[in-house]
Amino acid sequence: MTRDDQQRLLDILECVNDLAQISKLTLNDFLSNKIAQRAAERLLEIIGEAANSLGEEFKARHGGVEWRQLIALRHLLAHHYHRVDPQQIWIVITAQIPELVYSLGSDVR
C-alpha cells in the first residue's frame, strides 16, 4: 500500500468512526437533527473523495467495495445536495458503512 493510500485509508477510518457515533442515534432522532444529518453528509463526502483518490491497485485488492457507489454518493452530496434524502443517508451510515469496514478487512484492523 502506498503512503498516499495509507493516508486516504486513515481519512476514511476517521470518518467511519465519526459516523459510528452518529449511528448511535435513533432514526427519529437523526431525522429531526439537521446538524447530525449535515455532519453525516460531510463525512460521507470525505469518504467519497478519499475513495476517489485511492490507487487502482488498492481498489482492485478490495474488489468487494462499491468504490463507484461511494464516489457517486460524494458527487450527489456535493453537487445535488437538494436531492439528498436523510433516510437514505441513515441507511448508508447504518448498513453500508459497516459493510465497507468489513470489506476492507485487515487493512482497517
Q: Which of 42, 61, 68, 74 is catalytic?
A: 74
- pLDDT on residue 31: 98
Q: Is 62 a catalytic residue?
A: no
Range of the domain at 59: 3-108
Q: Is 74 a catalytic residue?
A: yes
pTM over 0.75: yes
Q: Which of 79, 80, 83, 109 is catalytic?
A: 79
Buried residues in 55-75 as b, exposed as e (16+ CB within 10 A): eeebeeeeeebebeebbebbe
Work out the mean pLDDT of the chain and round it to a whole number: 93
Percent pLDDT > 90 in the chain is 83
Is the pLDDT reported for residue 98 higher than 60? Answer: yes
Is the pLDDT reported for residue 109 higher than 60? Answer: no
- pLDDT on residue 101: 85
Number of domains in the chain: 1
